[in-house]
Structure 1
Amino acid sequence: MESEDELQMLRCSVKNYDWGRPVGDSQVARLFSLNSGSEQEPGKPYAEFWMGTHDSGPSFLLSGDENESLKSWLSRNPLVLGEKVLEKWGCDLPFLFKVLSVAKALSIQAHPDKELARTLHKLHPDVYKDGNHKPEMALAITEFEALCGFVSLEELKVVLRTVPEVMGLVGFGHALPVFGLTNQDKEETIKRELAAVFTRLMFADKNGVTESVGKLISRLTKETQVRELTDKEALALRLEKQYPGDIGVIASFLLNYVKLNPGEALCLGPNEPHAYISGECIECMATSDNVVRAGLTPKQRDVQTLCFMLTYKQGPPEILRGLPINPYVTKYLPPFDEFEIDRCILPQGESVTFPAVPGPSIFLVVDGEAIIKVGGSVRVHIVAEGDVFFAAANTQVNITKSSDLILFRAGVNSRFFQASQD
């Protein structure tokens, strides 16, 4: 492999979804502007910075023909992906790398597994753009808030007892079986009753939802005068300001409310409900853009598919804090083959080596600058914030003469290569 194939600087894509953060308060806006050389547009929300090969937001090579996409270049140079990656995923990156800047809540949503994704793509290719699943991981850059997965059985009982607006929409008759359940009951029995409650709530009459949200906000506003609201109640007030009269305001009580500190990560498997609320994160996922939405959104909703597809697993999600690889690099390993994330915080003057791995990598410089060398090559690359580069499989990346560098790397999960050797 020629050295110029081992490292490719990339120009990447941006998404201006309405939940994004404004210029001046958005990592996405800053990084995209530095990466592309384009002016930031005041008044426009900057939501997602995409690094990868997905057709909805492709990356392009800065060397050679600047109109050539990374996907096209990979199809001409498949060996840079590595033998194991080519064998499993073909001539494409199996992961999509992103930065998210979240000002207001994203939709209550889930991502389909592979079987459902293929079906949805076949039936509605205009809505579900590809046939792949989309497990993902969010790694907090700032404090990051999210709703993720269903609350425990005991917390569900508390919600039904203490949030009358939930009970009003679900109906006492549909909620009653929940109170007879214990954790000793069969898991499938508990899931069936949770599914019945959630489905009833999400299919509630629109006028009834508007009325119930109004009652909830009125009640909580009065109660703020005599007591401190719970985190969930305070969140409901915030969500209602963003999405007035939306069923997601009430449905949020059935989901776990999670606050990540910088450096903490959340894994989201297929068919798990979630909604990002606020903050900025690095995100990585299987190469897909399939989303099934059912609340907190002006976009198209598919309530029936969402309620059908969910696993209805209960309890708080696992928070990943990463595995220290050396003093400067922390690795985040989700339970998915397609991806992993490394976070590198390198003080001025220090050096670090990312060893050669059997699959491709994408690096993003978030802050600072450094000199990059590939393997034993004498050629150097100077990189600074906003720079994104692709490193071929079996390429060692040496970082030297750093100026307080913060860098993230996405690659194929190390456990995938270990398992393929067994």
Structure 2
Amino acid sequence: MLMQGPEPGARTPLDEIDLFDPVRFRTVPPHPIWHTLRAEAPVWRQARPGQPAFWNVTRYDDVVRIVKDTARYSSTHGNVLDVAEHGDSAGGLTMPLMDPPDHGQVRGPAIRTMSTQVVRRRSEGVRRRIRRLLEPALAGETVDFAQIMLHLPMLAVGEILGVPEEVWQDIPGWTMAGVAPQDPVYAQGSNERTLRRAHYQLFAMFSKLIAERRRAPKDDLISLLTQLEVNGRKFDDQQVLLNCYSMVMGANTTTPHVAGHLILALAENPDAWRMVLADPELVSGCVEEALRWATPTNHVMRRTTTDVEIDGVRIGEGEIVAAWIGSANRDESVFEDPYRFRPDRKPNPHLAFSLGAHYCIGGPAARSLLNVLVEELAATFSAFEIDGTVEHLASNFINGLTRLPIRPVLRHDAPVALAASGA
């Protein structure tokens, strides 16, 4: 989505707001819209002819309340607006679409496969892979960083998930088509046809791997899921398959776009990159600001289990609520100067990984991966220059980039640094 903030004093008429249409997110920046809603209508209902209406919640404190309150705001109907009408067929079967206590029975064992300790043990291998990933940018010519960064997540979690390296190259196309079937880069005919093809490819791959792990378990997430029990019953193949699908989707549709938006922000704000180059201690701050800035998951959807009240607005039982994390991470009451990219921002209580029971289990892996990426970028490039048209993803759910033409400027000492590092 376009990242421009609101003009001073500007507002968006409420009757012109549409937060559902995924194509609008390619051409209409939502931040001015969210700014208006936070100020005038923090709990706002969007009606859709022939479709269920949904409530939009845009203030930081309200979003926090919703994502932490799993008793009154359920995930089992689905967590994206695209499935609001009929619900997600995987509801109650995958970890993101479960409510406690069942959710914890899956999350507890799964999170240990992606713990900080596990990620740290793999960090040097990840660094070597990132250096290889960046090789196309070393010639100093214009490269599409959006396409390069799509391959970032599997470098960190491919082995953890249990996905063979020979198919890592195919995963980004399959997963992005699954979340943005209307985007011209990923569309293969109708939405239904695009989704069917993406699902078939991922399901076929995981079905084969599940059968292999049933016969010969390994030290990976697929094997863990084949042995997992919920309420005393082992997962069947469908539940294992759906959870594998959910986890590979979660990793591959978010982290690449944090990285892409980070590079775009550094190209548009060269002073911010110079700050990081001058002070390596700002690397982690740069990553946290990139997570806030990009907020790769625009919203999470919940369905109320009882009548609720938010900011004086009553919402009935069984209604759809969209908690806009992208808006919360620009809330002026929490973040000073929220429309400026600041690597030195402290504190930075962003919600990019959500909070509470559904805090992203891939958070440690994503943080580690992005920190290594920024370290390698800092060792290699002194600046990033936009050299062409930047194109944004058609999605109300994922804040992504489909084209990011950047001419990177090599540091004068970059070849020496690369040679010394073994790249």
Task: Report TM bin, short chain.
Answer: under 0.3
TM-score of the pair, normalised by structure 1: 0.23
* Higher alpha-carbon Rg: 1
Structure with bigger strand share is 1
Which of 1 and 2 has higher RCO (CA within 8 Å, sep 6+)? 2
